[in-house]
Structure 1
């Protein structure tokens, strides 16, 4: 193992002060235990040699020497000697990846089983799984482009919305890949690390080809293209799997112009690959993304040095074996008795939460271990970091505790999770306020905007349902008295129950996306018309 001495340094050099202590320890010990030195000023030297018991023979290596050597080796190991860098694994990088998925009607072609769209959606999940928690976002486009999931390290967000994606949720059909690329660019515009945009499409509208080429050339991000389809094309199938027919009763087909795709990709200087049934396409994307990450903004990335001090633990253990030689055994009895006394003391005398594991890991490290193993309740007990503690409480279902923890924090993320906790506690009005506060602190936190819109829908819809149920359960006498205005109608807004919350999350993402896409498309049209009216002919 070669060592580059020019790059050799210590990551934690303050530990090296223990080396000086280890060097002085044998000297100080020998001075204190030197019998001749203590009596030399009192007894004549020629008499002292005859009076000292034990003669002049001394062992060269003493327990104090071994102890000093162990301290020195431990200090060198803890100081973190290093001389080589290593790249962090991709899942620890902050570079995002945004997938731009086409939802044109041609993606329902069955030339790639089961359909082009279903294969592409599976590749989205494969990419998210291969990145192991790195941030992955999703944008869809047809004639217009819309954000589905912002870059997130939570794959469950993708799993929630992907099954609902189909051409039917889009406002209109089309292949405006330039709009999809622009939406992804806007999503990554404020990210400090250049990311990667993966286009999954079976073609591009010629009217938007030039705009796509220009946008790809100007992009700060890396743009990749996974083409979906075969040269022979395939029959179009509906959501029920049936073949789509035109007005004459003929089967509709989805075309795939490989030459046109290749020309556009070459003009835009975009790497192109075909979507495959195996995992080679996913590995191709990951390799390209990693290569781009290694080359982009290298001067802005912090170097990650590989520690090699752990090798010193081997000689440290071998030296520790010498402690069991006769006359060298370390007297552990006082240490054991002190530990037993501390353990048996009442709670006020020492920290009640102290455990033996505290000798080897901090509370936050212990909490992270429990969190990664799914024991969120224990993780919440061990965490000292308030953000992680609140998140563990939230994952454990302790929404009251999570709300209390996040209430003491400041920031957009804390307000966002306060909104989530309030939503689970059925306080939807205050949840909306918490999401509004999160958006004030971070206008780009699109998750908060999505959840806020959902809260408003839940507040509006169940009110009508609850009022209807209340009217059905009322007796005829009560209805008559209401009719004569003898009973005042309550002004309290009924709160939706937990099963309404779960139904809205689990069974209506397609309707939710369809409504949102239509609203966004209408807003874009209105803005375009307003901008056009303001121009002078």
Structure 2
């Protein structure tokens, strides 16, 4: 904070010079020795001067100087943090990397480490309503369970199907999960976080996390599941993993690897708790990482903190109504203010606020409180009024307001509102206008490309086909579909003409097994492809 502190309008601080000069001048004039020293002999002046008792007192000149000083500093615009853009995401994207190695079946945490980890995922999703979250499962290999999604029901479906037996490769490879999480977050323009829910990272894997921290703004967090005492690994009903000698294998929490990770990186490691305190800490950390990255954005505006100084200025101004501190016009202003605020309800509140805050300042206070409709009614700036309408879901009103702000941001916001209304071609045109005014704007390019992909292609017309004849004006005597034997043969669409997403959707519809079996087969196919590609290289 101290390194970023500066003034937005430092030239206003020159107003402090006349303030200091006025204080010195009035202080000299109030000293009776200076006023009468040339007229009365010094040995007589001491006996003729009446000194007030009680020592030093606060006088009106002190109050006026304090108010003038604070007003000059406030007008100079002190600031130390940046203002987050209203188009920025409210919630940080998150990739959850869930450890499905065999040690997660240990029962030192009831019922097992894996079941406790699943519950923590559910608790975390409950704290992130509407937030984009992806889920990765990893053991000796890493696989995407769900891409970025806000659908909690999908997570619930696939969480129930996760078990250590569905993983195609044994082991524990958190680096593979880190690489996969990076590829998911790379498609997002907002910095995110990667949360490992595991019983260990491995001290030999820390170097990969050090390298990741040096090149990526995405934060790494770890929720450690397990105990130092450890527990046997359950393999079935009343069955546990054993070693060659027939003794039970006890899996312990890898504290050495976790300590090495925290010592070498800024990764946040939290231990699991019985209640939701652990996931609450993680959610606060995820959000703080997003705010920190947004604060480091050099394109963001600095937040003017001078408004906060209005509070002590007003409190000091109230002292002017003390008896003997005669600033008569202050009492008149108070009477007029009370008369202007007479009435009831919101109208009197607005009249009172108009005395102290501009319409845009009032709108900003309402906007930050989440009262977007009320904020839109108070904003005078069309750009901010459009943003408030957009946040309130009034997209048509937002478009009308942005039409008054001929700026790249206005065109970008218009494109977002048109896309929300389903007018995709018009939204693409708006994004094109924004990019013409600000070339290379990544967010506008990404939104335009995404919205353009939603526009259905026009139907193709065959020029060789004759024009369709007008429909008959009479009804047929009978309808005959022809001989069944003369019907054409049933055909199939070649799979190479379908994309991976279309194939997966068809497969999922045809699959009559559980989500666990579906994930097991999909992970096995993905691992076979990777192994084949590595063998070919």
Q: Give the TM-score taking structure 2 as reference length.
A: 0.50
Q: Give the TM-score taking structure 1 as reference length.
A: 0.50
Pick the structure with more helix per residue. Answer: 1
